[in-house]
C-alpha cells in the first residue's frame, strides 16, 4: 500500500475511533496511531478495506506481466515473417523495457505446434516431482531469469559447476547449444535438459517437436541502434559507433563473436575453466551475470576481461577506460 493510501486508511480509522478516543484521553493523538494500533481498534473495518484493496493489486500485477509475455512472442513472429516490416517499426527500447504493447497480439492457434509448445513450456510435469517447468528458468518469454544452476538448484554466480540460464531469444539462429556446445540440435538440447536437468520422463517426439517449434518463435526484439548486419544505424549514439570500430578493430571481438550472428560454431578455451562455445552477444545487456558460470556481474567487466584475453593472446594493447565505455555501449546495444 502506498504511503498516501496508508495515511488515509489510518485517518479514516482514526475518525471512526474518535468517540472511543474521546473517552480515553491517555491515548496518543489518533492521527499518529500506528497501523498496529488501528488494527487493534477496528479489526473488522481494516479487514474490509484490505479485502477491498487486494483483488485490485493482484489483478494489476497479473496484467502488468501478461501482455509483456505475449508481446515479445508476437514481436518475434512479426519480425521473422517480415524483417523489412520489422525494420520499419518505430524505435523499440532494449529488451528490459519491451513490455508496452500497443496492440493486443492475436492468440496462437490451437493447431499451431508452437501453441502446444508454449503450454508444455509452462508444464511442470516435464520435471521429476513437478518441481519446475521451462518457464521457471526461462520465463514464458523464453528470456533468462539471470540465475545460475546446478540441476534445478540455484547456486552462487561463479560456482565452477554452475551454468547460467541463457536467453532463448534467437535460439533458432544458433548453431550449437549449451555453454559447452554439447548439443548439435535444439531437439538434443531440450531432450537433455528434460532428462538430465529436470530428471523428467523421456519426452515423446511430438512433445519435443512442439517445444522446438515454440522456442523457434522467440526472436530478438527489434533493435534501434544496430542493423541486422551488426553495423550501427546512422542515428545510433556516438559511443555505439566508436564501440563498433573497436569491436571489429583493436578489441579483436569480431574474430570470435563474428558478425552478424555474433557467435561462432567452434569452441574456445579463453581461460574460464575449459572449452566453451563462443556465445552470441545479442541482447547481452539483459542476460547478466556473464560467462558459463555467471562469474561476472557487470557487462563492462565482462568486456574488459574479454579484451584482456584477446590482448594476451595476440600480445596487443589494452583499452583505455573511455574505450571500454564505448565498446560496452556497442555490445550493450546489440
Ligand atoms: C533449472 C533451470 C532451467 C530449466 C527448468 C530449463 N532450463 Fe533451459 N537452460 C538452463 C541452463 C542453465 C542452460 C545452459 C545449460 C548448459 O550449458 O549446459 C539452459 C539451456 C537451454 C537451451 C540451450 C540454449 C543455448 O543457447 O545454448 C535451450 C534450447 C533450453 N535451455 C530450453 C529449455 C526448455 C525447452 C526447457 C523446458 C523443457 C528448459 N530449458 C528448462 C536452465 C533451465
Ligand atoms: C578467442 C575467441 C574470443 C574473442 C577474441 C572474444 N571472445 Fe568473448 N567469449 C568467447 C567465449 C569462448 C566466451 C564464453 C566463455 C565462457 O562462457 O566461459 C565468451 C564470452 C563473452 C561474453 C559473455 C557472454 C554471455 O552471454 O555471458 C561477452 C560479453 C563477450 N564474450 C564479449 C567479448 C568482447 C567485447 C570481445 C572483444 C573485446 C570478445 N568477447 C572477444 C570467445 C571470445
CA distance 330 to 328: 5
Residues whose CB is less than 8 angstroms from the CB of residue 63 and which lie 6 or more positions away in sequence, other chains included:
none
Which atom of ligand 2 lies nearest, measured to the CA of 273? 18
CA distance 63 to 53: 16
CA distance 332 to 334: 6
**Residue 265 pLDDT:** 84
Which atom of ligand 1 lies nearest, measured to the CA of 203? 38
Q: What's CA 10's distance to the chain center, in Å?
A: 39
CA distance 241 to 230: 11
Q: How far is the CA of 148 from the centre of ligand 1 (A)?
A: 11
Whether 278 lines ligand 2, by a CB cut-off of 6 Å, is yes
Residue position matching grid coordinates 487486494: 54
**Residue 153 pLDDT:** 96
Other Cβ atoms less than 10 A from the Cβ of 325: the count is 15
**Residue 266 pLDDT:** 85
Q: If we measure between CA atoms, which residue out of 143, 189, 164, 174 comes closest to residue 279?
A: 174
**Residue 246 pLDDT:** 97
Which atom of ligand 2 lies nearest, measured to the CA of 253? 37
Whether 291 lines ligand 2, by a CB cut-off of 6 Å, is yes
Q: How far is the CA of 227 from the centre of ligand 1 (A)?
A: 28
**Residue 60 pLDDT:** 37
Whether 310 lines ligand 2, by a CB cut-off of 6 Å, is yes
**Residue 198 pLDDT:** 97
For ligand 1, atom 19, which residue shows the shortest CA distance?
Answer: 165
Residue 306, class by beta-carbon neighbours within 10 Å (0-12 exposed, 13-18 middle, 19+ buried)? buried
**Residue 110 pLDDT:** 59
**Residue 112 pLDDT:** 87
Mean pLDDT per 10-residue interval, the chain, length 334 residues = 46 42 37 36 45 42 35 40 41 43 54 90 95 94 95 96 96 94 95 97 96 95 93 96 97 95 91 95 96 97 97 95 97 96
Q: How far is the CA of 76 from the centre of ligand 2 (A)?
A: 25
- Phi and psi based region of residue 263 (left: phi greater than 0; alpha: psi -120 to 50; beta: remaining): beta
Q: How far is the CA of 306 from the centre of ligand 2 (A)?
A: 6
Query: In this structure, are residues 21 and 41 in contact, taking their beta carbons and an 8 Å threshold?
Result: no
Which atom of ligand 2 lies nearest, measured to the CA of 292? 17
- The 8 Å CB, 24+ separation contacts for 254-257 are 255/310, 257/281
Instruction: Record the cell numbers describing residue 288, joined without a space.
Output: 547478466
Instruction: Record the cell numbers describing residue 312, joined without a space.
Output: 594476451
Residue position matching grid coordinates 522467440: 218
CA distance 4 to 78: 43
Residue position matching grid coordinates 560467462: 291
Amino acid at each position: 500500500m502506498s504511503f498516501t493510501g496508508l495515511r488515509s486508511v489510518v485517518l479514516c480509522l482514526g475518525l471512526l475511533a474518535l468517540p472511543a478516543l474521546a473517552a480515553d484521553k491517555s491515548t496518543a493523538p489518533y492521527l499518529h496511531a500506528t497501523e498496529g494500533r488501528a488494527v487493534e481498534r477496528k479489526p473488522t473495518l481494516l479487514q474490509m478495506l484490505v479485502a477491498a484493496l487486494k483483488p485490485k493489486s493482484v489483478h494489476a500485477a497479473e496484467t502488468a506481466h501478461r501482455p509483456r509475455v505475449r508481446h515479445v512472442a508476437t514481436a518475434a513472429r512479426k519480425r521473422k515473417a517480415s524483417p523489412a516490416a520489422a525494420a520499419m517499426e518505430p524505435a523499440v527500447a532494449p529488451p528490459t523495457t519491451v513490455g508496452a504493447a500497443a496492440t493486443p497480439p492475436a492468440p496462437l492457434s490451437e493447431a499451431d505446434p508452437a501453441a502446444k509448445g508454449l503450454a508444455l513450456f509452462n508444464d511442470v510435469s516435464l520435471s521429476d516431482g513437478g518441481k519446475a517447468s521451462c518457464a521457471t528458468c526461462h520465463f514464458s518469454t523464453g528470456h533468462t531469469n539471470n540465475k545460475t544452476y546446478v540441476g534445478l538448484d540455484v547456486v552462487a554466480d561463479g560456482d565452477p559447476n554452475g551454468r547460467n540460464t541463457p536467453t532463448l531469444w534467437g535460439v533458432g539462429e544458433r548453431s550449437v547449444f549449451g555453454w559447452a556446445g554439447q548439443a548439435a540440435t535444439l531437439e538434443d538440447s531440450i531432450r537433455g535438459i528434460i532428462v538430465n536437468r529436470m530428471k523428467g520422463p523421456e519426452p515423446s517426439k511430438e512433445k519435443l517437436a512442439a517445444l522446438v517449434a515454440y522456442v523457434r518463435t522467440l526472436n530478438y526484439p527489434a533493435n534501434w541502434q544496430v542493423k541486422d548486419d551488426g553495423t550501427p544505424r546512422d542515428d545510433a549514439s556516438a559511443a555505439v559507433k566508436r564501440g563498433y570500430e573497436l569491436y571489429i578493430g583493436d578489441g579483436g571481438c569480431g574474430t570470435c563473436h563474428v558478425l552478424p550472428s555474433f557467435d561462432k560454431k567452434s569452441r574456445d578455451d579463453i581461460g574460464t575453466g575449459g572449452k566453451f562455445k563462443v556465445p552470441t552477444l545479442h541482447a547481452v545487456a539483459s542476460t547478466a551475470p556473464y560467462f558459463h558460470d555467471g562469474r561476472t556481474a557487470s557487462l563492462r567487466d565482462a568486456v574488459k576481461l574479454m579484451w584482456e584475453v584477446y590482448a594476451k593472446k595476440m600480445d596487443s594493447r589494452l583499452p583505455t577506460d573511455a574505450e571500454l565505455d564505448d565498446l560496452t555501449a556497442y555490445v550493450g546495444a546489440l
